């Protein structure tokens, strides 16, 4: 019984962590049609912001907010310098963002060194529940993932800004004709997606060793989640993270993490092949 | 398009052939290594530049070739004699088969395209790397050491190519041979169809071409060549490790080809040679800043010069059969 609860909690924790990383990715990929391979580095920048700011004894909530803003600004600059020139060249977005990812990662190595840093969790007391004890910070991360996802959906589907953004995505010319400044929307959307990646990195930082390679480990599972879930709607991220994260945790508990990763990645490829639109996608080509 | 592209192409190969006159053994070894990367870049340039398939996992085939060569020549595959020839053969056939089957599986029917193909091939390379790390028979994380050098000759007269000079000529013959083969293929009807698919797949389908099979065939050719490069790499370093299957090398080769120019084979080849040799020189002086510079250079090349830095100078004139159409050269 305890074992089941523990596996269940671990699975939920992994799924929600993945969701946290995916939500920014799916906004940029699904809504802007930009394959952002630098997403892992935005995540990384968020984590390093935490390491840097914790030296000044700021409250953790403020640090998270600053991490979001800092990475959103980085995203804004990158959008203005690079991405806006290649919106119409879908494949080139992969290459350009890969170059950005390489440069950002190396910049972090130049500034902070290649070694790993430690971010301190603001609280870490284990909590007893359902007959087991579980790290309270992990529970906090899970709660934050749900909160951030809910907030993102609220902004996208219940506010005027979100409506405008979805309008631009659905029909750019029509939105422009109705007086929407589409450039401004592009900028905001990209910055928002980047900021979410930074926030995810900041929240995850105390749970991981903060080193320049930390973003890469999330990149492949996150992209597979987005593709499996489908890019047509941000809802796909929920499905994708659930499927990839859930199956990964369960297989890892039964066999080993390595088997889990190999098996889940392979199955994800098959799923993407059979349903290129993702499990939430419409049947269209 | 430069009017001197043909002369430049011939001059480049002539310089390579003459290079043993000027270089000592150490630098010849270095040049062989660069040419092996060049062959690898050719394999990607063919599939990406001609076929329009952005393969993010080309290292998968490079690594497969390297491991096939290593395992065969170390006599670790039961039933296959441990000779150079069988090793090279397996190193070409195995990746070709894997690439062909993967291609058919991905392209048949409502196939994958564009970024999806890139992410799937990237994941495939990551899976292969993980597998190799955890498969102790093929050396696991440490890889395989003591891979024997190339052995040439027949019967009682056999010799091993230890010296840099003969190995250099083996690599040079391979590079030139593959270049000419791919150039021939690019300028054949097959290459024309491939470019047709690249530019507009729906149109190619309506013209009656089985686009999935064309793409899978091109992918198999590309896999075979990457495998051969991998085999030569394994021999030169006498060492293979899971890292050559994975992410890092796969993206490195993309950078070489993108900077050189994906649509022109020689530009991609020189792109690999140039980036790698600049890296050898500059990584000492620039240190950590080298990768930063390379990353930014790559972004600039992709955004501002999507054809690559060298391609405009090395673009060969179209074959005569294609010139009559009056279409402008791409």
Strand pairing partners for B283? none
B321 vs A41 pLDDT, higher one: A41
Q: What percent of chain B has pLDDT over 70?
A: 97
- Res A284: pLDDT: 46
Please say if the pLDDT value at position A203 is more than 90: yes
Mean pLDDT score, B308-324? 81
Residue with tokens 């990406």: B48
Distance from the B18 Cα atom to the nearest Cα atom in chain A, whole angstroms: 36
pLDDT band for position B272 (50/70/90)?
very high
Distance from the A21 Cα atom to the nearest Cα atom in chain B, whole angstroms: 17
Q: Mean pLDDT score of chain B, rounded to an integer?
A: 89
Q: What is the pLDDT of residues B67-109, one digit of tens each?
A: 999 999 888 888 888 788 889 999 999 999 999 999 999 988 7
Please say if the pLDDT value at position B156 is more than 80: no
- List of chain A residues whose C-beta atoms are within 8 Å of the C-beta of residue B259: none
Distance from the A99 Cα atom to the nearest Cα atom in chain B, whole angstroms: 5
Closest CB from A91, A96, A106 relative to B291 = A106
Taking CA–CA distances from B121, the nearest residue in chain A reads: A269
- Res B2: pLDDT: 52
- Res A285: pLDDT: 41
Please say if the pLDDT value at position A283 is more than 70: no
Query: Which of A100, A111, A215, A273 to substitute to test the interface with B, most B CBs within 10 Å?
Result: A273
Please say if the pLDDT value at position B215 is more than 70: yes
Contact B112 A272 (CB under 8 A): yes
What secondary structure, in 3-state letters, does chain B show? CCCCHHHHHHHHHHHHHHHHHCCCHHHHHHHHHHHHHHHHHHHHHHHHHHCCCCCCCCHHHHHHHHHHHHHHHCCCCCCCCCCHHHHHHHHHHHHHHHHHHHHHHHHCCCCCCHHHHHHHHHHHHHHHHHHHHCCHHHCHHHCEECCCCCEEEECCEEEECCCHHHHHHHHHHHHHHHHHHHHHHHCCHHHHHHHHHHHCHHHHHHCCCCHHHHHHHHHHHHHHHHHHHHHHHHHHHCEECHHHHCHHHHHHHHHHHHHHCCCCHHHHHHHHHHHHHHHHHHHHHCCCHHHHHHHHHHHHHHHHCCCCCCHHHHCCCCCHHHHCCCCCCC
- Res B330: pLDDT: 46
**Phi, psi (degrees; rounded to nearest 5) at B263:** -85, -10
Contact B126 A265 (CB under 8 A): yes
- Res B326: pLDDT: 53
Mean pLDDT score, A207-236? 85
Taking CA–CA distances from B304, the nearest residue in chain A reads: A85
Contact A106 B303 (CB under 8 A): no
- List of chain B residues whose C-beta atoms are within 8 Å of the C-beta of residue A224: 119, 123
Q: Mean pLDDT score of chain A, rounded to an integer?
A: 88
Q: Residue B208 to residues A7, B111, B201, B203, B204: CA-CA distances in angstroms? A: 53, 17, 11, 9, 7
Q: What is the pLDDT of residues B164-191, one digit of tens each?
A: 888 999 999 999 999 999 999 999 999 9
- List of chain A residues whose C-beta atoms are within 8 Å of the C-beta of residue B56: 94
Query: Which of A39, A81, A82, A99 to substitute to test the interface with B, most B CBs within 10 Å?
Result: A99
């Amino acid at each position: 019984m305890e074992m089941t609860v523990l596996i269940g909690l671990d699975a939920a924790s992994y799924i929600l962590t993945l969701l946290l990383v995916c939500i920014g990715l799916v906004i940029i990929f699904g809504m802007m049609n930009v394959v952002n391979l630098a997403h892992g580095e935005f995540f990384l920048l968020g984590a390093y912001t935490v390491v840097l700011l914790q030296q000044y004894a700021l409250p953790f909530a403020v640090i998270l907010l600053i991490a979001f803003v800092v990475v959103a600004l980085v995203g804004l600059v990158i959008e203005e310098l690079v991405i806006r020139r290649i919106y119409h060249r879908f494949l080139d977005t992969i290459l350009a963002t890969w170059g950005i990812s390489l440069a950002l990662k190396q910049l972090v190595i130049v500034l902070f060194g290649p070694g790993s840093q430690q971010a301190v969790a603001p609280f870490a007391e284990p909590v007893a529940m359902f007959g087991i004890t579980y790290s309270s910070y992990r529970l906090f991360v899970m709660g934050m993932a749900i909160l951030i996802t809910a907030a993102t959906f609220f902004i996208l589907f219940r506010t005027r800004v979100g409506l405008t953004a979805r309008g631009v995505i659905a029909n750019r010319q029509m939105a422009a004709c109705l007086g929407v400044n589409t450039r401004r929307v592009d900028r905001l959307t990209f910055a928002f997606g980047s900021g979410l990646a930074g926030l995810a990195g900041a929240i995850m930082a105390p749970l991981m060793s903060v080193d320049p390679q930390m973003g890469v480990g999330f990149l492949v599972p996150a992209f597979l989640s987005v593709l499996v879930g489908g890019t047509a709607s941000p809802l796909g991220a929920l499905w994708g993270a659930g499927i990839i994260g859930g199956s990964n945790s369960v297989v890892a508990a039964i066999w080993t993490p390595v088997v889990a990763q190999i098996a889940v990645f392979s199955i994800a490829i098959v799923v993407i092949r059979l349903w290129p639109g993702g499990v939430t996608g419409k049947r269209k080509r | 398009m430069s009017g001197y592209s043909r002369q430049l192409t011939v001059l480049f190969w002539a310089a390579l052939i003459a290079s043993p006159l000027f270089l000592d053994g150490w630098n010849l070894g270095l040049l062989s290594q660069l040419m092996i990367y060049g062959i690898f870049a050719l394999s990607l340039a063919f599939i990406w530049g001609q076929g329009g398939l952005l393969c993010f996992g080309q290292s998968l085939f490079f690594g497969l070739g390297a491991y096939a060569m290593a395992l065969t020549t170390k006599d670790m595959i039961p039933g296959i004699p441990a000779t150079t020839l069988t090793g090279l053969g397996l190193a070409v056939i195995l990746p070709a088969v894997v690439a062909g089957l993967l291609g058919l599986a991905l392209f048949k029917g409502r196939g994958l395209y564009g970024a999806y193909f890139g992410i799937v091939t990237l994941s495939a390379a990551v899976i292969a790397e993980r597998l190799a790390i955890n498969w102790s028979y093929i050396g696991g994380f440490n890889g395989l050491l003591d891979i024997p050098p190339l052995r040439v000759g027949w019967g009682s007269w056999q010799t091993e190519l230890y010296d840099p000079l003969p190995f250099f000529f083996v690599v040079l013959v391979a590079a030139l041979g593959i270049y000419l083969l791919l150039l021939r293929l690019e300028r054949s009807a097959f290459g024309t169809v491939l470019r047709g698919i690249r530019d507009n797949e729906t149109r190619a389908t309506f013209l009656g071409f089985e686009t999935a099979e064309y793409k899978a065939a091109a992918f198999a050719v590309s896999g075979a060549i990457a495998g051969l490069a991998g085999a030569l790499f394994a021999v030169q370093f006498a060492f293979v490790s899971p890292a050559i299957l994975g992410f890092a090398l796969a993206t490195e080769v993309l950078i070489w080809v993108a900077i050189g120019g994906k649509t022109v084979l020689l530009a991609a080849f020189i792109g690999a040679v140039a980036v790698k040799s600049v890296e050898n020189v500059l990584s000492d002086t620039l240190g950590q800043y080298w990768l930063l510079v390379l990353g930014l250079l790559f972004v600039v090349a992709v955004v501002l010069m999507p054809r690559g830095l060298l391609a405009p100078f090395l673009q060969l004139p179209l074959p005569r059969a294609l010139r009559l159409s009056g279409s402008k050269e791409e």
